[in-house]
Amino acid sequence: MRLIKAQVQKYRSIRDTGIFDVDLGKTIFVGPNESGKTALFRALQQINPPAGTPKFEALRDYPRSEYNDITSGKVKPGNVTVVTGWFQLDLEDKSAIPELFRECVYVIGRQLNNFEWHKLEGGPEVPQYVAIFKDLLRLAAHVDGRLPKPADGQAEPPKPSAHLADITKEWTDDTLIEGKHAADLKSWLDGVLKYVEEGNTVEEERFDKLSSALQIDQLKKVTQDELRSRLPVFVLFSNYYRVRPLIHLGHLAQRLQSNILDDKQYDYGNECLLKLLGFTAQQLYNLGNVAEPAEANAAEFKNYRDRLDRRSYQLNAASVQLTEHIVSVWMPDKNRDEATRLRIVVDKQYLKVVVEDEHGVEIELDQRSEGFQWLVSFFVVFFAEAKDNHKNAVLLLDEPGLSLHGLKQRDFRQTISRLSENNQTLYTTHLPFLVGPDELDQVRVVEMTDRRVGTKVLTSLTASDSAGLLPLQEALGYDLAQSLFAQQRSLVLEGLTDYWYIEAMAHLLRDGGAPGLDQRVALIPAASAGKIVYFATMLHAQKLKVAALLDSDALGEQAARQDTLVHMLGNKRVLRTRDAYRGAVQNPEIEELLRSTLIGIAMTGLNWDISMKAAIQPERSIVDIFVENIPDFSKFRLAKAFLHWCSDHKLSDLTADEQSQWGNLIMLINQALE
């Protein structure tokens, strides 16, 4: 049975989430802090919480600003359904219920007073009296006529129609045939069966039809009860729940018995560990606090040894179970030494959780990574709360993986996917690495833009608060950034226009029979000269071949002199436009390599005429001349005009100097990235 949709109302920060869909595998709830994600999960857990979970309490859980409605009696807790869940039946569920209801959806809700209700959506409905009264009247008339005639002198017996009229005298058309109504009619049908004419197909079919209608209510109740017994347990796990690596059993038993700690979450992980082991803290403490009996008393000594062995065997069984499941999900195909074996041992009055590596060295749990400690604690709580029913549990993970490195969070995303194969998993996060680029259909955005409206769950990737979409934007940004590493050779450029010029010229050179740009080279615009060092650093860290092309203007020269860039790439891979330029401009930009052609394109295609100014100022950059003389000048428009020009021109349409300069530049790039 799998949750397919849910709704939460009137719970803490939530007024009404609206009905939201849930994925059959895993569902990701993203949203900023204080949006209500934790409140949402605490409410969802109440659909079918583990034993001992605190129940709804109007004083604590009803929206505080509306609590006067409760105290004044305006709103009664029994009229407030806080959480509702809709469940899809699997094959095992369907095989356990009557065929009539196998395509139904099971719905269950819990009210603020903790009363639970359930129903079925789909399948045959309990009939109303109006739907069957004609058949009842006709059957009654038939059996009336089949009554045996009384013997002489005997009174005529009451007719079945009279009895039926007495049963239904207070019924209306919309009276449901359920409960006592169905039981009374069934008793009447059983009484008249002997009078139905045998072989009369019409009346026999009418009788069977009425009998089936009367059974719907009972079959529906049986179905609902069966499905309730198969409802998955909702296991909520929070980062607060930690298993302590060293527990003094006497102190823990004392805290639990006396409720010393106000915050029960502190010992919650330890309580679950003990529940998993099948002991209380006091029992384990007592086992280690009993003096060893004299060996001469064989019976007492055997009893003593049996108690210790039982403790040892249960600890060992729990250790094996945890190890098996942790290793299966924590990097299952590599780095298995992360958790060769998990051991739970008792050393006199201390319960210890240790990890044994492949060399047999035991290390306390708290000396392992935070992420590994979290995973161990999660499985302890999971197995303890779900017990033997852990294959039929819904996992609610509140902000998992906060302590993990970004790349480890990405790996842990796969761990969650493996968990969801057997257990439907819902988790909240604001970490971009826990949202995969192929999982956007599994994302639900949780937001609260106005406390008067409360928390909302959006099933589409939209949000009024941009912070709600931030993890998705960051995840997408990271995924796009990974495309930088797709090629083994990368040339980092100052901007998009540089990319356009080089890409266009590479095609012109290749089509013109001249050596073109090595097709293995990826061109990466960095948006500005100052950002080139960051892009180069990222690419170099991935063991890729990297070169940088900089204009020879002031910004380009400043970037080229950065020690980090020079040290990382070397002088041969920090290229400048002046290395290929043969002209009078002292600090040429990339446009200078196409000076004559661009001046002509600007005049004919954009009505930007600087030909006279450029002719009398050959030592001055054409970009500076454009800026001075063209009010709406844009380097982007000029570059786009050149791209358009290239579509119907060829290499020979460039000047000889331009062909030579670009041939030199492409050669330098290829040599730098050999």
* 574 residue type, one letter: V
| Choice between 379 and 555, residue whose per-residue pLDDT is larger | 379
Reported confidence tier of residue 421, pLDDT bands at 50, 70, 90: confident
What's the first-to-final CA gap in the chain, in angstroms? 59
C-alpha 500/C-alpha 506 separation (Å) is 10
Least confident of 31-40, 310-319, 378-387, 480-489: 480-489
How large a percentage of the chain has pLDDT more than 70? 82
Within 8 A by CB and 6+ apart from 664, the residues are 579, 580
Q: How many CA atoms lie within 13 A of 195 on its CB side?
A: 19
DSSP string, 284-327: HHHHHTSPPPPTT-HHHHHHHHHHHHHHHHHHHHHHHHHHHHHH
C-alpha 599/C-alpha 618 separation (Å) is 12
Structure tokens at 632: 């709406």
C-alpha 25/C-alpha 421 separation (Å) is 7
C-alpha 56/C-alpha 43 separation (Å) is 9
Average pLDDT of 489-517? 86
Asked if 610 and 629 count as a contact pair (C-beta separation under 8 A), the reply is yes
C-alpha 348/C-alpha 516 separation (Å) is 77
C-alpha 130/C-alpha 136 separation (Å) is 10
C-alpha distance from residue 209 to each of 63, 135, 187, 286 (Å): 50, 9, 15, 66
C-alpha 233/C-alpha 51 separation (Å) is 10
Buried b (16+ CB within 10 A) or exposed e, 518-534: eeebbbbbbeebeebbe
pLDDT in tens, 571-587: 667 788 888 898 899 88
| Choice between 191 and 325, residue whose per-residue pLDDT is larger | 191
**pLDDT value, residue 219:** 92
Q: What are phi and psi of 394, to 5 degrees?
A: -105, 120
What is the residue extent of each domain of the chain?
Answer: 1-126+424-483, 143-218, 240-390, 486-672
Reported confidence tier of residue 478, pLDDT bands at 50, 70, 90: low
**What dotted CATH number matches 1-126+424-483?**
3.40.50
| Choice between 47 and 383, residue whose per-residue pLDDT is larger | 47
DSSP 8-class letter at 589:
-
Tell me which H or E stretch contains 8.
strand 2-11
* 27 residue type, one letter: T
pLDDT in tens, 510-569: 888 888 888 888 887 876 666 666 676 666 666 778 888 887 665 555 555 554 454 555
C-alpha 307/C-alpha 303 separation (Å) is 6
Beta-carbon count within 10 A of 145 CB? 10
